Amino acid sequence: MRFIHTADLHIDQPFSGINSEQTYIQDLLKTSNQEVLSKIVDRCIEKRVDFLLIVGDTFHQAQSSIHTQKFLMEQFLRLEQEDIKVVLSFGNHDYYQENRYWFEWPANVILFKKEEVQTKTIQLKNGESVSISGFSYEHQWVEQPMVNDYPARSQETTYHIGFYHGDNTGKYAPFSPAELSSSYDYWGLGHIHKSEIISENPLIAYSGTPQGHTKKEDQVQGVLLVDINAGGSDFGWLDVSNISWNKKEIEITEELSKKELLAAVESQISDAHYAYPLNIIEVNLTTTAENASDLLNEKEEMLLYLQESLLKSSNYKVWLKDISVLQSTSDKLIMGFETTLIDDLGRKYRNRNNFDKAVSDLLQQPAIAKYLSWEEEDIVACVNESSQLIKDKMIFKNEASQ
């Protein structure tokens, strides 16, 4: 038995934070989601799979557009022509309501529509069969665990696989992978956008989103090609992304003029290999140069220049989304103590509980509290930026007193 497992396509989700006015980039952003789905179908046909398993959130919106729906049906019809089935469930973003769909689902599509665990059987081309157990969302949230509703492994089919769209929080069918039946041949998971193999015996995997839409989704691996037979299971990732998100650390320790430093940054970005039609880059520049404060004040000009220059030199494949400038102060004494003390304090406030205490007064202000939320990555970035601001202010005072 061979199949491709994917989830969280979000094919009508816009890409966040890319504000280029370049026509090429705007056109690419409009078509990339569809191209990713088309690539997945291409891989299904190339690899001669028995079926495509999609574990929820095919659409980003509960009410998807008629054009998006039409494109999806056309791609499924391509698979029908190759005698490849589609097993599809609905997640918390695209929870199922029948009246939302403008077209008939092709005959090769096996839909899971209920917010209850169901089991459906597929006859494979080689005469074997597989039982597939899972559920869909019919509401934005499923607060009760569903894991105990899965049946025992079927004795009437050659294989039995399960799928599950959820995580270990309270609103998304809470579960832990340890609760999934070890007698199943495979568990295909959805909802978490990071690709991850949870277990290899049995094989349990979050396929992750096949295409990142924000800077936080920079660990995309693609879709999962799975082979299962009497001898066990095998798997491999197939990259189908059209746009990649990248973070690049650049450290410059020598004293350079602004012009030289600009050229050095551009050179280090350009020297990397970029394989995708569009590669989004965020740069963290650390420098010991005394002109770092000047660079920070002129960051927007530097960013605009590098955006234009890198676009042209990369044949429109590289878009510099942002650049941060930090001045490395090493162990220099500041107002009587070393900068390592500030770093130590920063590490303290990266702790979620300590950070929440520090911002508790803000969260008690109704007018602004509803606009505030921090994930782990946001906390780290906020603390790092705050630490640097403190260093910059203290360096300024110290130099001014000399």
pLDDT confidence of 289, banded at 50, 70, 90? low
Mean predicted lDDT score pLDDT of the chain: 88
Structure tokens at 7: 């989830």
Whether the predicted pLDDT of 15 surpasses 70 = yes
Helices 23-46 and 66-81 meet at what angle, rounded to 10?
Answer: 30
Q: Give phi and psi for 56, each to the nearest 5.
A: 85, 155
Q: Give the pLDDT confidence score for residue 398 in this predicted structure.
A: 43
pLDDT confidence of 389, banded at 50, 70, 90? low
Q: What is the pLDDT of residues 142-153, one digit of tens each?
A: 999 999 999 999
Distance CA 11, CA 60 (A): 6
CB 112 within 8 A of CB 134: yes
Whether the predicted pLDDT of 380 surpasses 60 = yes
Q: What is the pLDDT of residues 176-224, one digit of tens each?
A: 999 999 999 999 999 999 999 999 999 999 999 999 999 999 889 999 9
